A and B are shown apart, each in its own frame.
Chain A
Amino acid sequence: MAETSTMPAFLVPGDSEPVIRLADARKTYKTGSIEYEALRGIDLTIRAGEYVAVVGPSGSGKSTIMNILGCLDTLTSGSYLLAGDNVEDLDEIDLADIRNKRIGFVFQQFHLLPSLSAWRNVELPMMYAGVHKDERRERAVAALERVGLGDRIDNKPGQLSGGQQQRVAVARALVTEPTMILADEPTGNLDSHSTEEVLGLFDELHASGRTIVLITHEHEVAARSRRIVHVRDGLIQSEEVLA
């Protein structure tokens, strides 16, 4: 079923380096004596500047792919190269560092800290990166302006609409200049207007050269990407490249 392990050369935007290279990726979960194979040999390459959607029904393994790509979980077997570095065999501290520098997360539930203002939320990853205080504020404000919330920097999440909250989360994902933005059902909790707001933002980010990986089960959302990877039963079923 898995047709491609390498991308045909003509589909690759420019001559960019592979950002992600999963080879024969397998993940087995154990609950007591029951073993469950979530990933059964995934080969996937994503290059810099690509906008890829991973699509599949629930239970297909797409959340596991998201966790693996996001360095939130490790493979049982196979290899995962992120920007040329092997992510396997890393300890928790190194994984935290990679998440901090390489990956910008956007979650379905936004995951903003309700007690912090918008810019304080955006500042968080820079705190763990050891960026200086003054620079953090400057960059956080710039990232919020980038997502069109320059006038909302002091608002707390509770004072923002769903779409605005998700844009704050996108600003937070952008602010560390990560290798890729990893979005897990980013529009799952949004109405159609807000969905359009966030997807429009992704379009802009893609146009400016960002690498975006979108995990979703909605085809309309996936259709906004340039390449769709269909996952089913822990395997890549098919891929389609959009114009």
Chain B
Amino acid sequence: MNWMETARTSWFAIMSHKMRSALTVLGILIGIAAVILTVGLGLGTQKDVSSQISSLGSNLLIVSPGSSTSSSGVRGGFGTGSTLTEADATALASKVNAPDIAGVDAEKSSSEELTAGSTNWTTSVVGVTPSYLKVRSRTLATGTFITAQQQADEASVVVLGSETAQELFGSSNVVGQNVTIDSQTFEVVGVLASSGSNSTSNLDDTALVPLSTMAANLVGGSQANSVSTVYLQATSADALPAAYQEAKSILLTRHDISSTDDADFTISSQDSLVSTATSVYKTLTILLTGIAALSLLVGGIGVMNIMLVSVSERTREIGLRKALGAPPGAIRNQFLVEAGTLGLTGGVVGAALGIVAALVLPGLIGSSIEVSGLAIGLSLVVSIGIGIIFGVYPATRAARLAPIDALRTE
């Protein structure tokens, strides 16, 4: 009896119990679809996070005040200190001490209410330096950016994000209009081109003012000279490690700190941000995939259960086939192929369902799902494998039945 005939015989057996076969397939189907979806969701989220982080700018180092190390005593938490100043940023821009740093953008942000006529809108107002566009890889939709002169003059000018312009004026063609921030009037000189949102903030909903103006007029007091973040652009991707070293030694010297462990600032790269975020999502993905794999295991046990029922229900058929000359191997193969077919059917339908869900769900839940060919291929192999592995015991039992006992069963 060749494989084609074995397959046909098994197919007849499956089709003669449609409901039961369908329910068995359902168990595998759910497991496979769940695995494909969770793996896809994990991969998609990782990709989203990477692209959001790289949307910050290219070849970027991010200097934040405070330390993330906890080597000695009590330290200010990451990003909470006010130890970075405008002067630090100016020092980092030195071509002599930091030849591998191409651009420096110091930023200081605060949430403020903007008013234009009778419309008001609360957004993040950020004090930036003229090198913002270059360092952060942004472009203008209309108008001009903050100039060095305006920076020196503490000029009351503002560059709006495209969404902020839309909210305030209902249009992005707003150069020359006035906006009131903290009861001071600012002139809109430009509007940023749209860039999308990242995980923490909407990059199109912002208002940029000169850092000097921000320090002098919007955020006063002891915080006046501190900045919240300094973005450094390295001259190239290869120069990132050198730029990192230069920035570190300049800041250590300026802050009069001898040991790296005591640093009151943290320099991170996109790579380190990406890998931190990725490792978090990886752990989550593994956890979810583990749960999905468990449901696949339950599906496999379902196959075994149904195959055992099928063997005892068809004892007479097995006995007859043996009396007619079926060797034990032919009987075993028939049941193995039957179990494998149930598994494969579940795998194919489950994969199809997973792919459809991966296409439909992102629109509903807002995060992308990346279905990889590897995940699909692997789950098909796994589904046949599960069918066969859980089919081995029932099939062996069928093959071992003695024909006389089997024929006598009523």
Tell me the A residues contacting B by CB distance below 8 Å: 67, 70, 72-73, 92-93, 96-97, 99-101, 105, 107, 111, 113, 115-116, 124-125, 127-130, 172, 176
Contacts and interface: CB of A to CB of B under 8 A. Distances in A.
Interface string B314-328: 001101111111111
A153 to B, nearest CB: 17
Nearest to B326: A128
Nearest to B5: A127
B150 to A, nearest CB: 87
A115 B320 CA distance: 14
Most buried by A among B12, B320, B325: B325
B403 A72 contact: yes
Most buried by A among B5, B323, B324: B324
A99 B322 CA distance: 8
Interface in B277-318: 316-317
Interface string B2-15: 10010000001000
27 contacts: A70-B323, A72-B323, A72-B402, A72-B403, A73-B404, A92-B327, A92-B328, A96-B322, A96-B326, A97-B325, A99-B322, A100-B324, A105-B324, A111-B316, A111-B323, A111-B407, A113-B320, A116-B12, A124-B321, A125-B325, A127-B1, A127-B5, A129-B325, A130-B1, A130-B2, A172-B324, A176-B325
A128 B16 contact: no
B193 interface: no
Contacts of A73: 404
B287 to A, nearest CB: 45
Given A99-B322, A115-B16, A124-B321, 8 more contacts: A72-B407, A93-B329, A96-B326, A96-B328, A100-B326, A127-B1, A128-B1, A130-B2
Contacts of B403: 72
Contacts of B328: 92-93, 96
Given A107-B407, A130-B1, A101 B12 contact: no
Contacts of A72: 323, 402-404, 407
A22 B325 CA distance: 22
Contacts of B324: 99-100, 105, 124-125, 128, 172
B12 A93 contact: no
Contacts of B316: 111
Interface of B: 1-2, 5, 12, 16, 316-317, 319-330, 402-404, 407
The dominant DSSP class at the A interface is helix
A128 B323 contact: no
Most buried by B among A99, A101, A172: A99
A44 B120 CA distance: 111
Most buried by B among A92, A107, A125: A92
Contacts of A176: 325
Contacts of B321: 124, 128
Contacts of A129: 325
Contacts of B320: 111, 113
A128 B328 CA distance: 11
Contact of A97 (B1, B327, B402): B327
Given A111-B320, A127-B1, A130-B1, A96 B404 contact: no
A176 B323 CA distance: 13
A80 to B, nearest CB: 16
B325 A100 contact: yes
B327 A96 contact: yes
B12 A128 contact: no
B9 to A, nearest CB: 8
Nearest to B15: A115
A116 B324 CA distance: 15
Contacts of A99: 322-325
A101 B324 CA distance: 9
Nearest to B4: A133
Nearest to B321: A124
Contacts of A116: 12
Nearest to B8: A127
A115 B12 contact: yes
Nearest to B324: A125
Contacts of A128: 1, 321, 324-327, 330
Contacts of A96: 322, 325-328
Contacts of B404: 67, 72-73
A9 B317 CA distance: 42
Nearest to B406: A72
